[in-house]
């Protein structure tokens, strides 16, 4: 179990020091242009703190999947340009990662200046967490700051390996993730309600298992609810179902019962003829889904049931949409839950991925306490797994 009590940039003297900062600059690009700069904007707080406090900052990140080779399609140069606009100062771009150019520029870097290394995944050693590569990266700096939560579940050279060679602390983004999500898992304000949705039970088994020991109420919606309905003996038509997970679903429901956790699944559904956005649809109760129809969203009674279960909650963790929310006809359940979470007044944590995207798209983002910046990382966090990019950081004294 990871300790969540990690040193932050504020717990270490950065004045006059060279600081290697692992950022998450894995931004979407189209024709070499950044189409969403959110991740760059989010990095500014930590970088500004370091620069304002007299550090010389060497930022690094991966971008896309260059498969261990130099490929300028995945160059971080556009990021340097945008970051420079946001910081209001020049961002010196290195033309390599641990090569002559990076090393010379790092050596010449002065306090208050910032440079950006090229894409760390231009070297295959990055994802292999090769110690020699990590040591080379570390050799340019005196302190390591990890602020890339989205890759914290990966033990790569720039996300974990470098911490073997440098004092290692977290930036503000990771600090926020671990303080809010860590508190929810260790000492939640109760009642603690988890809402899980999305396509597959198999993707969320670890999360269900971990949360069932901690929550007061567990709500299951989305495609994964149909495996539970089937496990209870209902007909589910052509709804998505994992036949090999039926026993597991029964076990989980029994575990919830034994622990006194209220376990809620949909009582009605919006079912469609086919897995298509414009398929004919109707509302149907969970014990009456006819053959040839598939559940694509929770129904209106379930929306009410789920929403009521959130009233008075102290902490809400939500991961996964309630239906195929990408399609308008099947988005109402996810919208209703987003509204109910926003209205609950609870500490609300949206666990990355599709639910985070849905909350942002629907305009509820500023109503939530915390929207995790990592999909896979936040799932692993909620599973109670140790994240290498966090475990490697120095604990507070
Ligand atoms: P996940 O990545 O596991 O959170 O799953 C998100 C995906 O689950 C989204 O693409 C949704 O379209 C899909 N999904 C949610 N509900 C259903 C459903 N009832 N049937 C099929 N897919 C679903």
Decide which of 175, 203, 218 is a domain's last residue.
175
Q: With a 6 A CB cut-off, is 240 part of the ligand 1 pocket?
A: yes
Listed in sequence order, the DSSP H helices in the chain are: 38-52, 77-87, 100-108, 131-139, 172-186, 201-212, 225-231, 246-259, 300-310, 332-344, 353-361, 375-382, 388-391
- In short, whether 203's Cβ falls inside 6 Å of ligand 1 is yes
pLDDT of residue 2: 54
- Probe ligand 1: pick from 222, 240, 294, max atoms within 8 Å of CB? 222
CA–CA separation, 58 and 29 (whole Å): 23
Mapped onto helix, strand or coil, the DSSP state of residue 182 is: helix
Task: Tell me the whole-structure pTM to 2 decimals.
Answer: 0.91
The number of the ligand 1 atom at minimal distance from the alpha carbon of 319 is 4
CA 100, CA 121: separation in Å to the nearest integer?
17
Protein residue with least CA distance to atom 5, ligand 1: 198
Ligand 1 pocket check for 266: Cβ under 6 Å: no
Report DSSP state, residue 363. T
How would you class 100 by CB atoms within 10 Å of its CB: exposed for 0-12, middle for 13-18, buried for 19 or more? exposed
What crossing angle do the helices spanning 201-212 and 246-259 adopt, rounded to 10°?
20
Atom nearest to 222 CA in ligand 1:
16
Give SS3 for 57: strand
What is the position in ligand 1's atom list of the atom closest to the CA of 204?
A: 3
**Other CB atoms closer than 10 Å to residue 135's CB: what's the count?**
16
Among 194, 198, 206, 322, name the best residue to mutate to test ligand 1's pocket (greatest count of ligand atoms within 8 A of Cβ): 198
Residues 201 and 347 in one domain: yes
Catalytic residue IDs: 39, 200, 353, 376
Phi–psi pair at 113, nearest 5 degrees: -100, 155
Is 141 a domain residue? yes
Specify whether the CB–CB gap between 221 and 298 falls below 8 A: yes
Ligand 1: atom nearest CA of 327 is: 12
User: Tens-digit pLDDT profile for the chain (397 aa)?
Assistant: 456 799 999 999 999 999 999 999 999 999 989 999 999 999 999 999 999 999 999 999 999 999 999 999 999 999 999 999 999 999 999 999 999 999 999 999 999 999 999 999 999 999 999 999 999 999 999 999 999 999 999 999 999 999 999 999 999 999 999 999 999 999 999 999 999 999 999 989 999 999 999 999 999 999 999 999 999 999 999 999 999 999 999 999 999 999 999 999 999 999 999 999 999 999 999 999 999 999 999 999 999 999 999 999 999 999 999 999 999 999 999 999 999 999 999 999 998 778 888 888 888 999 999 999 888 899 999 999 999 999 999 999 8
| Residue at a domain's end among 144, 175, 206 | 175
Instruction: Report if residue 84 sits inside a domain.
Output: yes
Residue 162 structure tokens: 């470098």
Q: Are residues 138 and 265 in the same domain?
A: no
User: Rounded to the nearest 5 degrees, what angle is found at the Cα of 200, between the Cα atoms of 315 and 66?
Assistant: 95
The domain in which residue 74 lies consists of 9-175
Whether residue 274 has its Cβ less than 6 Å from ligand 1: no
Angle (deg, nearest 10), helices 172-186 and 375-382? 30
The answer to the question of residue 390 being in a domain is no
Number of Cβ within a 10 Å radius of residue 305: 17
Name the closest-CA residue to atom 1, ligand 1: 198
Q: Is the CB of 268 under 6 A from ligand 1?
A: no
Residues 245 and 370 in one domain: yes
The whole-number pLDDT of residue 368 equals: 95
Ligand 1: which of 225, 276, 320 to mutate, most ligand atoms within 8 Å of CB?
320
Same domain, 210 and 171: no
Identify the pLDDT of residue 103: 98
Q: Is residue 394, in this structure, part of any structural domain at all? A: no
Q: Are residues 230 and 368 in the same domain?
A: yes
State whether 256 and 359 are in the same domain.
Answer: yes
Atom 6 in ligand 1: which residue has the minimum CA distance? 198
- Confirm whether 182 is domain-assigned: no
Domain at 333, CATH number: 3.40.50.1260
Q: Whose CA is nearest to atom 17 of ligand 1?
A: 223
Domain boundary among the residues 126, 149, 175 is at 175
Atom of ligand 1 nearest to the CA of 375: 2
Residue 181 lies in a domain: no
- Residue nearest atom 2 in ligand 1 by C-alpha distance: 198
CA 212 to chain centroid, in Å, comes to 20
pLDDT at position 3, please? 65
Q: Is there an atom of ligand 1 within 6 Å of 333 CB?
A: no
The predicted structure's pLDDT at residue 356:
86
Distance 320 CA to ligand 1 centre (A): 7
Q: What is the pLDDT of residue 361?
A: 82
């Amino acid at each position: 179990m990871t300790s969540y009590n990690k040193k932050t940039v504020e717990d270490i003297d950065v004045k006059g020091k060279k600081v290697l900062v692992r950022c998450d600059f894995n931004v979407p690009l189209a024709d070499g242009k950044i189409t969403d700069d959110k991740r760059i904007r989010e990095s500014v707080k930590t970088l500004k703190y370091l620069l304002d406090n007299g550090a010389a900052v060497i930022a690094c990140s991966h971008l896309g999947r260059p498969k261990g080779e130099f490929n300028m399609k995945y160059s971080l140069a556009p990021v340097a340009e945008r970051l420079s606009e946001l910081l209001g100062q020049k961002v010196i771009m290195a033309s390599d990662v641990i090569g002559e150019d990076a090393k010379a520029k790092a050596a010449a870097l002065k306090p208050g200046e910032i440079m950006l290394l090229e894409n760390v995944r231009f070297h295959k050693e990055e994802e292999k967490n090769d110690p020699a590569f990590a040591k080379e990266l570390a050799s340019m700096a005196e302190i390591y700051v990890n602020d890339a939560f989205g890759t914290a579940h990966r033990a790569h050279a720039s996300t974990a390996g470098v911490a073997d060679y440098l004092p290692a602390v977290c930036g503000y983004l990771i600090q926020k993730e671990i303080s809010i999500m860590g508190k929810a898992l260790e000492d939640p304000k109760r009642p603690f309600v988890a809402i899980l949705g999305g396509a597959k039970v198999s993707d969320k088994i670890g999360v269900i298992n971990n949360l069932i020991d901690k929550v007061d109420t567990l709500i299951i919606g989305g495609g994964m609810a149909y495996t539970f309905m089937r496990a209870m003996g209902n007909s589910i038509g052509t709804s998505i179902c994992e036949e090999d997970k039926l026993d597991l679903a029964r076990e989980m429901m029994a575990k919830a019962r034994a622990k006194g956790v209220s376990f809620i699944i949909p009582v009605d559904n919006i079912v469609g003829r086919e897995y298509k956005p414009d398929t004919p649809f109707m509302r149907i109760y969970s014990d009456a889904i006819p053959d040839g129809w598939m559940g694509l969203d929770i129904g209106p009674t379930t929306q009410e049931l789920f929403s009521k279960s959130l009233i008075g909650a102290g902490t809400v963790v939500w991961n996964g949409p309630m239906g195929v929310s990408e399609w308008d006809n099947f988005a109402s359940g996810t919208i209703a839950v987003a509204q109910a979470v926003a209205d609950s007044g609870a500490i609300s944590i949206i666990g990355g991925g599709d639910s985070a995207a849905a909350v942002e798209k629907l305009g509820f983002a500023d109503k939530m306490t915390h929207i995790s910046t990592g999909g896979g990382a936040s799932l692993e966090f909620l599973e109670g797994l140790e994240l290498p990019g966090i475990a490697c950081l120095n604990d507070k004294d």
